[in-house]
Structure 1
Amino acid sequence: MSSNSGALSPSEAFQAAAQRSAESKTYLGTFAQSLEFELDPFQRDACRSLQEGKGVLVAAPTGAGKTIVGEFAIYLALERGLKAFYTTPIKALSNQKFSELSAKYGASSVGLLTGDTTINGEAPIVVMTTEVLRNMLYADSDTLGDLGYVVMDEVHYLADRFRGAVWEEVIIHLPSEVQVVSLSATVSNAEEFGAWLDTVRGHTDVIVSEHRPVPLWQHVMVGREIVDLFAGDTTFDEIAPEAADGEGSVPEPVREPDRNPPQREFEVNPELLSMARAESQMNFRGRFGHGGRSRRRQDRQRDNTASEQRSPVRKASRPQIIASLDRQGLLPAITFIFSRAGCDGAVAQCAAAGLWLTTEREQQIIASRVDEASREIPADDLDVLGFWSWRDGLLRGLASHHAGLLPTFKEVVEKLFADGLVKAVFATETLALGVNMPARCVVLEKLDKFNGEAHVNITAGEYTQLTGRAGRRGIDVEGHAVVLWQPGTDPAAVAGLASRRTYPLNSSFRPTYNMSINLIAQFGRPRARQILESSFAQFQADRSVVGLARQVRSREESLAGYAESMKCHLGDFTEYAKLRRDLSEAEQFASRSTSRARKSLTVDSLSRLMPGDIVKVPGGRTPGYAVVLNADPNSREPRPAVLTEDNQLHRIGAHEVEGPVDPVSWIRIPKAFNAKLPKSRRDLASAMRNAVREGRPPARGTNRSEDFGRARYMPDQEKKIADLRRALRAHPCHGCSEREDHARWAERWWKLRHETDGLIRQIQGRTNTIAKTFDRVCDVLAVYGYLQTSDAGHVTISADGQRLRRIYGEKDLLISQSIRQGAIKDLDGAELAALASTMVYQAKRDDRGLRPKMPSVSLETSVDIVVREWSALEDVEDKNRLPLTAEPELGLVWPIFKWAKGRHLQEVLSGTDLAAGDFVRWAKQVIDLLDQMAKIPGLERRQTKMCREAIDLVRRGVVAYSNVS
């Protein structure tokens, strides 16, 4: 391993000069002379290893210049008459790298492969997403011929829970003669990862650099004043990195002892500590100084606003923050806001405040580029895309950047920012991955974010990744990271994030159906099993057992103490605590079941209402009787329009009623009724009141309330709850005077026991855990007939198994099974596109609601097949103790169907929470799946034709002209 601090002694400098003189006639020397800057020591070390025929792992901070090593690999390939592949985790980064390399080596020498884009694929240099290379390896593509080098940019992405396994697959399967260049952010277990690379790829040098070429200063913005985080003249780089100690690292340290640098002492700015103390004292006095319990209760009710009022710092607005950065020469800046709406809102706020960051000449250039980029966008799409407000923001030097932005718009923002024309970008954390958008300053609004389930603090690794954007090499002499002061800010905690710059790289690898069947096809089952045992996941698992065992011993000691504290002189409190827990879980299950049944039947009853039905609304804004004016049968969340007793027009939804809604009466709505006319409304309301008074029966329908009562009645569950309650009351410990004190210790014991048992299971399953998972995957494939075993014990792949080899994605086996059972047999192009969406779409929230009515009978039948196959597959996976395939989601069916039918974008997005960029991204994934399906061997000619037709129907308009995703 090589580690560089950036500073050389005189003797080291002399040796380096002599070495450079000797190297001047080598490939490295020629390459170095072609550059406009001097190579850093870590870059030279890595390039030297490559020149010697070794693989390299380069771990260095963002902006340190890791990609130079990848470019040297490309240079070597060209000089030696070989091919070089440059892989990235995302298409946007692939597009960006393709543009850079094309400008350097010429368009004829560089190709691009990103799944939905193919440009010059047989060129000597090809940029691609890592998934494309994985698929080429499994297909034994001819493009792999003469491949000499593979650059894996952002290789630390192999920790990604959903896509990380692809990196390991590629590393394992690349031919042994291919040299691999792995470029990573600074990770705390680089040696461990390098040791694995050395095992599976042969000699691999690990090159680690902690040095940032542009020093990074840390600040806290208090009001409009920027205050240094650390006391004295201390930059980020002068604080030695600390080994990761709380971010999911493997329990047993993997660094060699002499390579774990000590944590250098740092001192937090006393001014910030003083502010924090003053704020804390004001909060304490405000909450407890006067009024006793009543005052404290009032304080709790006003907690959020009161904390800001009591803070000694007046919080600056976003326009004020940007203006302050501008005055201090800290633009261009990226402000990270962990919310798409927050990013767009920040641009709107700055524009509304009259903020202009550009000159007239810059505005002219921006206008020209924006108009050129949007030239092919249909004029009637501009409004729905929010084009004009987006353009106005750019002219001011302002922009947002997030996944919901139209890919074309996002690309324009990136280019304008890189050229210094856009000065302030408000971005979500997705910008921190790969895309080349360095800034002079990075601002973090908050140090916590919503992870889909709860608000959690960002980790030191995330802080490093985000702030690493600050400081443009060759432009800025220093970068700046600014954290905004919030009520309750702890400067010491911020300093702790800033002083731990590294994070561990942990494998997310697990065998999938597609991976397993491709391995068996190429190597046979025994060899495939051995290959999987060589994964980084297994490598880490074997090395972490010692640490897990140590954790178990520590927890067992704590459990003994908890057990002693919960002892009861009246009886076995462990037994009593289990009764309490079982009762709590049974009651929660019953409550959830009732709630789900209530919501389902309520929504169903609202969707069944017809014009003329009279209903009684128990709550909401307008309780009382109402007559239905318009039905809403096809919506996932029906909200029929009604006229109330007091002549008001309103819509009622599931949240306004307490359960299923039954028509209590019925009237005929006159054809001449006009809801806009007060007289029409009065007459109809009067007719409604008469019908209710006369007791006129409803026109039709069942009693939904009775349905709810039946759904709610769960005799087995109620009996279980009653039995548990009786057993609890009869237990001797129920009468203990210290019962609740014992119960608290029992709860702690149970929680720790649960965690400890999990660790024990991990230890038991660590040995050959990946291979065991592979065996279970093979068992499932055998159940479905994809794998067949001969009398001699040889495993072969069936014709259906050959189909699965060409299907990539999280629902690979479900897609294959659905095709096998005829799900795509009778569909036209638009219906096929809609069906494909169920296999790729993932809703933001786990709230699917009722299944919507499908656009056609054929599609309804096909969706039935998919859902039935998913349900059966889930049972098989559960039986074989495998992760369950995610349920097909139907939320994108109608938008994709409408789009494939040629509907306008505004109509497609209406009634959904999809942003234009989200829709484009999902549409491209639909296209990618359809393209896979079109290439499946043995598919009927008509089905292949429909796949191609579906691709053409979806690839139009904003989807066609958005070339980045």
Structure 2
Amino acid sequence: MSSPAERYAAAKERSRLANTEFGRFRAQLTFDLDPFQEEACQELEAGNGVLVAAPTGAGKTIVGEFAIHLAQARGTKAFYTTPIKALSNQKYTDLVHRYGEEKVGLLTGDTSINSEADIVVMTTEVLRNMLYAHSSTLTNLGFVVMDEVHYLADRFRGAVWEEVIIHLPESVQLVSLSATVSNAEEFGAWLDTVRGATSVIVSEHRPVPLWQYMMVGNRLLDLFVSDEKHNTKINPELLRLVEVADRREQRADWGKTRSAHARYRNSGTHQGRRRDRHRGRGGRRGRGGRQDSFELDTEQNQQRRPRPQRLSRPSVIRSLTRANLLPAIFFIFSRAACDDAVYQCVQAGISLTDKTEQAVIAARVDQLADMLPPEDLDVLGFWNFRKAAIAGICAHHAGLLPIFKEAIEELFAAGMLKLVFATETLALGINMPARTVVLEKLQKFNGITHVNLTAGEYTQLTGRAGRRGIDVEGHAVVIHRPGVNPKDVAGLASKRTYPLNSSFAPTYNMSINLLAQYGRERARGILESSFAQFQADRSVVGLAQKVRQQQKSLAGYEKAFTCHLGDFREYARLRRELSTAEKNYSRSRSKDRFHSITTSLHDLQVGDIFTVAGKKRLGTVVVLSRAHSLTDPRVAVLNEQAQLRTISAHDLKEPVELRSRVKVHREFNANAPKQRRLLANEVRHAMETGVEPRPQNRPENFTYSEDPLAQQIQNLKQQLEEHPCHQCPDREDHARWAARWSKLDEQAEELRKQISGRTGTIAKRFDQYCALLTDYGYVLAETDTTTSSRTDLVTERGQLLRKIYGEKDMLTTELIHHGSLNHLNPRELAAFVSALVYEAKREEPDYHYSMPSEAIQESVLDAQQIWDQLRRAERQHGLPTTTEPDIGLIWPVYKWSGGKSLKECLRGTELSAGDFVRWIRQCIDVLEQIAKATQQTEIRDHCHAAIDSIRHGVVDYIGADIVENHEDTEEEITEDASTRPDSPLP
């Protein structure tokens, strides 16, 4: 019990706070604030900026809401920025409920509501663009809330956050809300440097405690337990059960292998191979039609051998239901696997909702049907989606149609849906808390390979568990699979290491805007104040210490290889130069041969017949589509067995030798088996009758580099033999010490380069961009002869670039400047622009050997040439290269702009409806940019007409879309994905 003095002090403090804005704000709330929330709000009222780092669901946004309250009280504006549209829409709805529609606005990429309101919710990109344009909307701005500010680590979009932080007027107070990061103090120190007084408030307390589990078989076990001394340790019972399960799995695998070997021996090698080769369709086959002998065990063997106790997804859900752990988010790092999991649960008859909930869900889902074209409902998988949703089960990933995702988020937040199978994008800020989070794997496919989850990613995913005000505790469940060790799970669960590292780097658009706004010197100063440079400068101290340590070791190595016959350092240098020259000689020959192959492949024309004898061994093939890329040419071909394949330079050992030629009609449909067989017959006939191939321009075999290199190798060998140290009896011993010295010296030199590179590295990159922009005529450098001062003037061409955003900003501007869009009609323009936004997830064969029109074909060739020239210039200036235009979406967009059905547009592609809508929206965004940037009335009109031609049907019902580059990373093969021909879900 507190003393009278303490009670008096508390009463006095309450009285003081009652007369402050914080006191008035707190009095409006129906709940008590946590200490970190109170501290942050009081720091804001004191005039400081704040960085609040706290776990998901801890209530950070209350600090942002207090900033809005302060702005209202002081008569200033407040902006609330979010990384994604879905969050912007959610926050807009919340604020309208509190302050009314007349006081709140919303600005996203495609939505503008009451933009001059006192409170405006927007995506961060919108605010960045306002700052560059000196928008009048910024007048009287007092506060900016940056929700999910840790997004500045995102490699695609992170630079936007730093640009905003740097460019905001000094008078604006910044409220930065972040997930728990391990270097919050470092980030706060940078904010203090660029924004003035900034208070760092860190809380690692979860309002709803999180319990960690592993599910082994059908048992749910605590990951951690406490011993008699209350020390936390990994559950020994869990360790025992996992060991048993792993042994059972190993025995099962061993039994399969042993049975397969026994059958192989008993059958006889030659006869066994013949039987396997000619076996019909009666036996089970693995993927690709290959016989999977490891699964052809007899019933007796299956009964005798212990089977692994791995639960199916429906079984896991039943276990969660019995344990009262729903609603749950089940994270699976694959779109296809999420859809398949829903299908499995529905097929298993699982229903998690009562009649009242089913009625509410049905009514909400049926609203979607009213908003969508009836002819698209089947291709969107609407009926399967409806059936699953009524059962309380849905999938959530970037491949879904936006309005489907919006409905799922609403229903889950309302407690109607009980189970969502989701990819990791759901962990990026959308308000969908659950009682339980389930992780099926601790690995994900990052687009290149499978990688383990980091502790930060694990924390971000499991942070969804536990609904504040609803659940007493949250639950995180990891499903046991072979190779998943409880110690690894415990390591992830016990760490909170989530460092915030800057991804900031200049771009063409950023550089030209900085030059136009501030001039080169001031722009360099602005860039040097970035968080990226702040972190780089701090790292230099540690690097310099390493260099000093290595210098001591180098002195000891040098003493060890001292030779009495001569300078062994010089002798070692000759040996290194010889080794390098021999490697370069071999590499040069390989490069020349590959160049010849690439050139011959790029020159192929539709109808050319040649033989593939490289890795793929396809035999004789006919070309169906020409290569569009100059650097990585790929052609679609048909072999004599009427199979479609894609050939790249890596598939060939030698340059292409034409064998014959056939005519491939423009109407040829590669998706029709009958037409493929007819064309294959024509190919065989052409080979038999000896139809002459067209004249072939043979690529030159470049050998200019061989003679000088060969001569250099000969000279180096002679110098070695004549060197005094060559006769030393301890030569090889000295050489080993010299090799160690050389390796360590290279490491030290690399560290010295890193130190040099990190000092002013951001400004140096800016200078590289400025140099290229000057070469291209975007910037005109003028020198004042009296003062010798330099002025960079942005030309009309550069002003065009200022209004073009995106990863291909420079390429898009060049195409406009060169008139590559002038001859396109609106429909062609819409299709062509897709090549400037689309990026295929994987190699997608293009069996269309021509573009929809000659005008598009001409623009595609222009784009290839302009991109190739730009890529060469970027390499010359040491800049990252612009990605190549991708023509994979041109035909679908052309069909869509011509009024074709969604089913027709998606036929023959791997696109989901959600992907298609997202890419179309990005095409619209680029068309709008071009319309605003160009001075040519005809192109502007064509852009608007092109937008109208593709903004229809499902594209017109976009809802709360997520359009940034955070796409779900999908595994190439889902191990238990359904083999059904049609996806069960949209």
| TM-score bracket relative to the smaller structure | 0.7 to 0.9
| Aligned partner of residue 918 in structure 2, secondary structure | helix
What is the identity, as a one-letter code, of the residue corresponding to 2:935? L
How far did 1:566 drift?
Answer: 12
2:279 match: none
How far did 1:95 drift?
Answer: 1.8
2:120 match: 126
1:198 match: 192
Q: Are 1:866 and 2:895 an aligned pair?
A: no
Q: Are 1:314 and 2:316 an aligned pair?
A: no
2:59 match: 65
Distance in 2 separating the partners of 1:811 and 1:49: 42
Distance in 2 separating the partners of 1:590 and 1:903: 51
1:368 match: 363
What does 1:533-932 correspond to in 2, within 5 Å?
533-552=528-547, 607-608=606-607, 651=644, 654=647, 696-698=689-691, 701-702=694-695, 713=701, 715=703, 757-792=749-784, 793-845=790-842, 853-932=850-929
2:332 match: 337
1:494 match: 489
| Aligned partner of residue 834 in structure 1, secondary structure | helix
1:510 match: 505
1:941 match: 937
Q: Are 1:75 and 2:69 an aligned pair?
A: yes
2:270 match: none
1:383 match: 378
Are the equivalent residues in 1 in contact too, given 2:104–2:118 (CA < 8 A)?
yes
Q: Structure 2 vs 1, CA of residues 18 and 653 (structure 1 numbering), >3 Å: closer, same or farther?
A: same
1:260 match: none
Q: Are 1:420 and 2:406 an aligned pair?
A: no
What does 1:516-527 correspond to in 2, within 5 Å?
516-527=511-522
Are the equivalent residues in 2 in contact too, given 1:667–1:691 (CA < 8 A)?
no
1:50 match: 44
Distance in 2 separating the partners of 1:739 and 1:853: 65
Distance in 2 separating the partners of 1:804 and 1:753: 44
- Of 223, 240, 260, 1:229 maps to 223
What is the identity, as a one-letter code, of the residue corresponding to 1:507? S
1:463 match: 458
Aligned residues: 902
User: 1:811-857: CA deviations, max 9, x gaps?
Assistant: 22222222122122222212222332222222223789899643323
How far did 1:341 drift?
Answer: 1.3
Q: Structure 2 vs 1, CA of residues 910 and 581 (structure 1 numbering), >3 Å: closer, same or farther?
A: farther
With 774-783 and 28-37 compared, the bigger mean Cα shift is at 774-783
Q: Structure 2 vs 1, CA of residues 39 and 233 (structure 1 numbering), >3 Å: closer, same or farther?
A: farther
Q: Structure 2 vs 1, CA of residues 141 and 289 (structure 1 numbering), >3 Å: closer, same or farther?
A: closer
What is the identity, as a one-letter code, of the residue corresponding to 2:764? K
Are the equivalent residues in 2 in contact too, given 1:442–1:470 (CA < 8 A)?
yes
| Aligned partner of residue 483 in structure 2, secondary structure | coil
How far did 1:528 drift?
Answer: 2.0
What is the identity, as a one-letter code, of the residue corresponding to 1:773? R
Distance in 2 separating the partners of 1:568 and 1:638: 59
Q: Structure 2 vs 1, CA of residues 312 and 116 (structure 1 numbering), >3 Å: closer, same or farther?
A: same
How far did 1:501 drift?
Answer: 1.3
2:979 match: none
2:480 match: 485
Higher relative contact order (CA 8 A, sep 6+): 2
1:243 match: none
Are the equivalent residues in 2 in contact too, given 1:401–1:410 (CA < 8 A)?
yes
Q: Are 1:19 and 2:16 an aligned pair?
A: no
Distance in 1 separating the partners of 2:255 and 2:731: 35
With 856-865 and 534-543 compared, the bigger mean Cα shift is at 856-865
Distance in 1 separating the partners of 2:677 and 2:518: 79
Distance in 2 separating the partners of 1:217 and 1:196: 35
What is the identity, as a one-letter code, of the residue corresponding to 1:944? R
Q: Structure 2 vs 1, CA of residues 867 and 606 (structure 1 numbering), >3 Å: closer, same or farther?
A: closer
What is the identity, as a one-letter code, of the residue corresponding to 1:214? V
How far did 1:460 drift?
Answer: 0.8
- Structure 2, unmatched stretches of 5+, are 265-290, 785-789, 963-986
Distance in 2 separating the partners of 1:754 and 1:19: 64
Q: Are 1:432 and 2:427 an aligned pair?
A: yes
Are the equivalent residues in 1 in contact too, given 2:844–2:888 (CA < 8 A)?
no
Q: Structure 2 vs 1, CA of residues 895 and 76 (structure 1 numbering), >3 Å: closer, same or farther?
A: same
1:259 match: none
| Aligned partner of residue 538 in structure 1, secondary structure | helix
Q: Structure 2 vs 1, CA of residues 384 and 555 (structure 1 numbering), >3 Å: closer, same or farther?
A: farther
Distance in 2 separating the partners of 1:468 and 1:495: 16
Q: Structure 2 vs 1, CA of residues 949 and 327 (structure 1 numbering), >3 Å: closer, same or farther?
A: same
Q: TM-score, normalised by structure 2?
A: 0.80
Distance in 1 separating the partners of 2:740 and 2:255: 35
Are the equivalent residues in 2 in contact too, given 1:282–1:310 (CA < 8 A)?
no
How far did 1:658 drift?
Answer: 8.7
Q: Structure 2 vs 1, CA of residues 519 and 654 (structure 1 numbering), >3 Å: closer, same or farther?
A: closer
Distance in 2 separating the partners of 1:860 and 1:882: 29
Are the equivalent residues in 1 in contact too, given 2:332–2:439 (CA < 8 A)?
yes
Percentage of pairs with the same residue:
53
How far did 1:289 drift?
Answer: 13
With 133-142 and 359-368 compared, the bigger mean Cα shift is at 359-368
Q: Are 1:185 and 2:179 an aligned pair?
A: yes
User: 1:839-876: CA deviations, max 9, x gaps?
Assistant: 22222237898996433232333333333333333333
How far did 1:218 drift?
Answer: 1.0
2:984 match: none
Q: Structure 2 vs 1, CA of residues 639 and 134 (structure 1 numbering), >3 Å: closer, same or farther?
A: closer
Distance in 1 separating the partners of 2:677 and 2:196: 85
What is the identity, as a one-letter code, of the residue corresponding to 1:943? I
How far did 1:785 drift?
Answer: 2.5
1:446 match: 441
Are the equivalent residues in 1 in contact too, given 2:210–2:465 (CA < 8 A)?
yes
Q: Structure 2 vs 1, CA of residues 350 and 123 (structure 1 numbering), >3 Å: closer, same or farther?
A: same
Distance in 2 separating the partners of 1:510 and 1:634: 33
Distance in 2 separating the partners of 1:30 and 1:578: 76
| CA RMSD of superposed structures (Å) | 4.9
Q: Are 1:394 and 2:389 an aligned pair?
A: yes
Q: Are 1:959 and 2:958 an aligned pair?
A: no
Q: Are 1:173 and 2:139 an aligned pair?
A: no
How far did 1:477 drift?
Answer: 0.6
How far did 1:281 drift?
Answer: 6.8
User: 1:272-329: CA deviations, max 9, x gaps?
Assistant: 333455567778999999999x999x9xx999999x9999962111111111111111
Are the equivalent residues in 2 in contact too, given 1:56–1:207 (CA < 8 A)?
yes
Are the equivalent residues in 2 in contact too, given 1:666–1:697 (CA < 8 A)?
no
Q: Structure 2 vs 1, CA of residues 454 and 110 (structure 1 numbering), >3 Å: closer, same or farther?
A: same
How far did 1:210 drift?
Answer: 0.6
| Aligned partner of residue 128 in structure 1, secondary structure | strand
What is the identity, as a one-letter code, of the residue corresponding to 1:957? G
What is the identity, as a one-letter code, of the residue corresponding to 2:769? V
Are the equivalent residues in 1 in contact too, given 2:606–2:664 (CA < 8 A)?
no
What is the identity, as a one-letter code, of the residue corresponding to 2:438? V
- Structure 1, unmatched stretches of 5+, are 1-7, 239-263
Distance in 2 separating the partners of 1:163 and 1:632: 35
| Aligned partner of residue 838 in structure 1, secondary structure | helix
Are the equivalent residues in 2 in contact too, given 1:786–1:797 (CA < 8 A)?
yes
How far did 1:604 drift?
Answer: 7.4
| Aligned partner of residue 330 in structure 1, secondary structure | coil
Q: Structure 2 vs 1, CA of residues 94 and 500 (structure 1 numbering), >3 Å: closer, same or farther?
A: same
Distance in 2 separating the partners of 1:668 and 1:92: 48
What is the identity, as a one-letter code, of the residue corresponding to 1:378? P
How far did 1:162 drift?
Answer: 1.8
With 132-141 and 845-854 compared, the bigger mean Cα shift is at 845-854
